[in-house]
Amino acid sequence: QGCTQKYIVKNYFYYYLFKFSAALGEEIFYITFLPFTYWNIDHSVSRRMIVIWSIVMYIGQVSKDILKWPRPLSPPVVKLETRTNAEYGMPSTHAMAATAISFSFFIATMDQYKYPFELGLVAAFVFSTLVCLSRLYTGMHTILDVIGGALISAVLLMLLYPAWDTIDHLLLTSPFCPLLSIVVPLVLCYNYPKLDYYSPTRGDTTTILGAAAGATVGFWLNNQYAAPAYTSKSFQPGFLLVTSATVFALARFFVGILVVLLTRWVMKSAVLGVLGYQYKFPIRDLEARRCLEVEVPYKFVTYSSVGFTATVIVPLLHELLGLM
Tens-place pLDDT, residues 212-245: 999 999 999 888 876 554 443 444 444 445 567 7
pLDDT profile of the chain (324 residues), mean per 10: 64 85 83 87 86 91 86 76 72 89 88 81 90 86 89 91 87 90 92 82 90 92 68 45 73 90 92 85 79 87 93 88 79
How many CB atoms lie under 10 A from the CB of residue 115? 12
pLDDT at 83: 65
- Are 70 and 89 in contact by the 8 Å Cβ rule? The answer is yes
Q: What's the burial of 205, exposed, middle or buried (CB within 10 Å: 0-12/13-18/19+)?
A: buried
Distance CA 112, CA 38 (A): 15
| Inter-residue contact 181 to 216 (CB < 8 Å) | yes
Helix then strand then coil, % of the chain, to nearest 5: 75, 0, 25
In this prediction, residue 230 carries a pLDDT of: 41
Q: Exposed (0-12), middle (13-18) or buried (19+): which is 3, by Cβ within 10 Å?
A: middle
**Domain map (residue ranges) of the chain:** 12-321
Contacts of 319 (CB under 8 A, 6+ apart): none
pLDDT at residue number 322: 83
Q: Which pLDDT score is estimated for 186?
A: 92
CB 309 within 8 A of CB 259: yes
Considering 43, 94, 169, 318, which one is annotated as catalytic?
A: 94
Quick check: 212 and 185 in contact, CB under 8 A? yes
Following DSSP, what letter does each residue of 239-305 receive, concatenated? S--SHHHHHHHHHHHHHHHHHHHHHHHHHHHHHHHHHHHHHT--TT-HHHHTSHHHHHHHHHHHHHH
Enter the DSSP assignment of 195. -
- Whole-Å CA distances, 316 to 109, 172, 198, 210, 312: 25, 18, 40, 21, 6
141 is catalytic: yes
Question: In the prediction, which pLDDT does 226 show?
Answer: 67
In this prediction, residue 278 carries a pLDDT of: 84
Q: Rounded distance, CA 25 to CA 57, Å? A: 11
Please indicate, yes or no, whether the overall pTM of this predicted structure exceeds 0.85. Answer: no
Q: Which of 220, 253, 198 is nearest to 88 (CA)?
A: 198
CB 268 within 8 A of CB 298: yes
Peptide bond into 162 cis (omega under 30): no
* Type of residue numbered 128: S
CB hemisphere CA count around 282 (13 angstroms) = 3
The answer for 280, left when phi > 0, alpha when psi is -120 to 50, beta otherwise, is: left
Q: What is the pLDDT of residue 5?
A: 64
DSSP assignment string, 25-38: TSHHHHHHHHHHHH
Nearest Cα to Cα of residue 86 among 200, 194, 5, 203: 200
Q: At 163, is the secondary structure helix, strand, or coil?
A: helix
Return left, alpha or beta for 139; rule: phi > 0 is left, psi -120 to 50 is alpha, else beta: left
Distance CA 293, CA 143 (A): 36
